[in-house]
Amino acid sequence: MTANQQQFYKIEKNQVTNFEAIVIGAGFSGLYMLNRLREAGFSVRVYEKGNGVGGAWYWSRYPGARCDSESIYYNYTFSEELYKEWTWSSRYPEQAEILRYLNFVADRLDLRQDIQFNTEIKAAHYDETHNLWRIDLNDGTCVSAKYFITGVGCLSVNATNVPAIKGLDRFEGKWYHTGAWPHEKIDFKGKRVGVIGTGSSGVQAIPVIAQKAEHLTVFQRTPQYTIPARNRPLDLEFIEKTKENYSEIRRQMHESFGGFPGNRGDRSALEEPPENRQSVYEAAWEAGGLAIRSTYKDIMTNEAANNTVSDFLRSKIREIVQDPEVHGKLMPTYFFATKRPVLDTNYFETYNRKNVTLVDLRKSPIEEITPKGLRTTEAEYELDFLVFATGYDGVTGPLFKIDIRGKDGLSLKEKWEDGALVKTYLGLSTAGFPNFFIITGPESPSVLSNVPVAIEQHVEWIGDCIQYLHDHGVETIEAKAEAEEAWSKHCKEVADSTLYTKTDSWLTGANIADKPRGFPIYIGGIGQYRQIIDEIAAKGYEGFSLVTHQKTKSYQ
Ligand code: NAP
């Protein structure tokens, strides 16, 4: 520990206002970032809006909330002890269990002492004179740090999308957004409930609400492909084996394409005889989970190949949903998995229930919310509860909720929205914003991978980088404009070589009115990405400006 760091620790914790690093968010990202930097001897403070750890999993308590990554891969892998001490109960972890896991991690690593809960960062401005980030909190306090790190994720409670539908303020029932769900239990028994939205959240909530509600009306704009999760309890033998294979599983996750062991198939769907292909898809459907997307190498890059799996999935909807009129409304037409793919438990089966009505908003759009319910161009539906499963202003939204300003007062929002869209270097930093790091931000694998793996990549890289800067007496690190130009171009080229950009989704920004369109995710694969960022670090942080002897005044 340096003399400088010791000085921080000498001061009473609640009086400290200047840290080496400030991190926003106590979810997967913030917890690991805190641990990593603290272990290296740096003073760190995490600010968290919630009253507990968990990030998105703290807020998303809607009925049926569960993760689409298998539990044994949806955890940290940086510590063998942590990995082996925790035991998941089922194949896909439910929200409450993930929250318990993150609380276990926070306790086990004694992280809470450096987290300030119930606190929001409102603004973070880079002070060039003192080479510090000045950070304004919602309680009026100002703190500062040399490094400012965001762990807000791509989907945040601060950036939920509640569509501006006329009349919501006059609704006499209760309404909720899935991503900001109340902590007390909502009793749907005997109630008339409406759900708007059929993305991951809606698809999970709809079957669970349908079991309780007197009547459920689903307001669907875009029909959805979903694959059965085939969730089940995990048996002890399987868990033991997984723990024994910890090192190999970690290696495979980190070197893989998507953050799970196993890579994409190496054959084209189009070279396969149709009957074999059908068997492959049937087997993947029976196994459940997201593996069907990886059965052939060209599902995400070739329209005809994608059509083979999309046709298969549409045939499953026809098989499950008995009423032809209803399954007609449920038929998706976009290229499978170009919206973030979804797993379900009894989603399509739910439309066979007598207490469920499906409203096709493409045929009869919403006109307004009335005091008694919701009116489309065709009918009014009386409701006691209205659930917005309408998603988020994703990727950039959580960052734009904070007034982040770099050199010369340049605002991140202005920089990225000024017709130029997002520009980052490696998805980790952006020119004009020295000593600023983004965990799983735009132009990194983030949401199109198994997110904890993406987080570990970033936290480890940032931690190593800060250590390097410290060891080499570097005062500032900043992405070079030409390096970020090249990275953004590369991300776009990779995305354009796939089918992702052919579909409107929250990934392209299409769900938010007036949001500039793009595809700010690096989809070259998580293993490949790690190689790239590690090579850049090994070359002394190529593409970054490192300033060693900047004249900085000390900040009192
Ligand atoms: P989402 O995928 O963006 O889905 C939002 C849904 O609301 C879509 O069906 C959308 O229709 C509809 N919608 C939005 N605005 C509307 C409007 N004005 N009128 C009518 N319908 C409207 O949001 P989400 O389901 O919350 O999921 C977001 C992301 O969170 C997921 O993709 C995933 O990354 C993550 N997530 C993961 C899990 C999990 O792991 N199981 C669970 C929940 C969330 P359009 O498609 O027509 O826009």
pLDDT at 377: 98
Lookup result for tokens 């999993």: 57
CA 219 to ligand 1 center in whole angstroms: 12
Residue 500 carries which DSSP code? G
pLDDT given at position 418 = 63
Average pLDDT over residues 416-435: 89
User: What value does the mean pLDDT take over residues 349-369?
Assistant: 98
Pairwise CA distance, residues 355 & 293, whole Å: 33
Bigger pLDDT: 13 or 287?
287
Instruction: For 281-308, write each residue's pLDDT tens digit.
Output: 999 999 999 999 999 999 999 999 999 9
For residue 91 and ligand 1, the question of a CB distance below 6 A is answered with no
Q: For the chain, what is the mean pLDDT?
A: 94
Judged against a pLDDT cut of 70, whether residue 459 lies above it is answered with yes
Atom from ligand 1 closest to the CA of residue 510: 48
DSSP code per residue over 405-444: E-GGG-BHHHHHHSSS----BTTTB-TT-TTEEETT-TTS
Query: pLDDT tens digit string along 243-258?
Result: 999 999 999 999 999 9
Pocket test for ligand 1, best of 60, 67, 177, 221 (most atoms within 8 A of CB): 221
| Residue 210, ligand 1, Cβ within 6 A | no
Which residue's alpha carbon is at the smallest distance from atom 17 of ligand 1? 163
Comparing 213-227, 440-454, 540-554, the range with the smallest average pLDDT is 540-554
Query: Does residue 190 surpass a pLDDT of 90?
Result: yes
Kindly tell me if the per-residue pLDDT of 37 is higher than 70: yes
Which atom of ligand 1 is found nearest the CA of 361?
Answer: 20
Q: Is the CB of 221 under 6 A from ligand 1?
A: yes
* Residue 475 in tokens: 């005062």
Distance 167 CA to ligand 1 centre (A): 22
Q: How high is the pLDDT of residue 420? A: 56
Check residue 417 and give its pLDDT.
79
* Residue pair 178/202 in contact by the 8 Å Cβ criterion: yes
Ligand 1: residue whose CA is nearest its atom 43: 201
| CA 509 / ligand 1 centre spacing (Å) | 12
What's the pLDDT at 7?
40
- Assess whether pLDDT exceeds 80 at residue 419: no
Residue pair 300/467 in contact (Cβ under 8 Å)? The answer is no
What pLDDT band is residue 486 in, cutting at 50, 70 and 90? very high
Pairing of strands 373-376, 380-382: antiparallel
| Interval between CA 222 and ligand 1 midpoint (Å) | 10
pLDDT at 1 over 80: no
Q: For the residues 321-348, what does the mean pLDDT come to? A: 97
Q: What sign for the dihedral angle of Cα 487, 492, 495, 496?
A: negative
Closest ligand 1 atom, residue 178 Cα: 26
201 CA distance to ligand 1 middle (Å): 6
Mean pLDDT of 371-394: 98
Mean pLDDT of 207-217: 98
Q: What would the mean pLDDT of 314-334 be, rounded to a whole number?
A: 98
Residue 107 confidence (pLDDT) above 60: yes
Nearest ligand 1 atom to alpha carbon 201: 25
Answer whether 157 contacts ligand 1 (Cβ < 6 A).
no
Q: Tell me the whole-structure pTM to 2 decimals.
A: 0.95
pLDDT of residue 516: 87
Ligand 1 binding pocket includes 340 (Cβ within 6 Å): yes
- Write the residue with the smallest CA distance to atom 28 of ligand 1: 391
Q: What are the residues whose beta carbons fall under 8 Å from the beta carbon of 175, sequence distance 6 or more?
A: 168, 385, 386, 387, 388
pLDDT digits (tens, 9 = 90+) for 50-69: 999 999 999 999 999 999 99
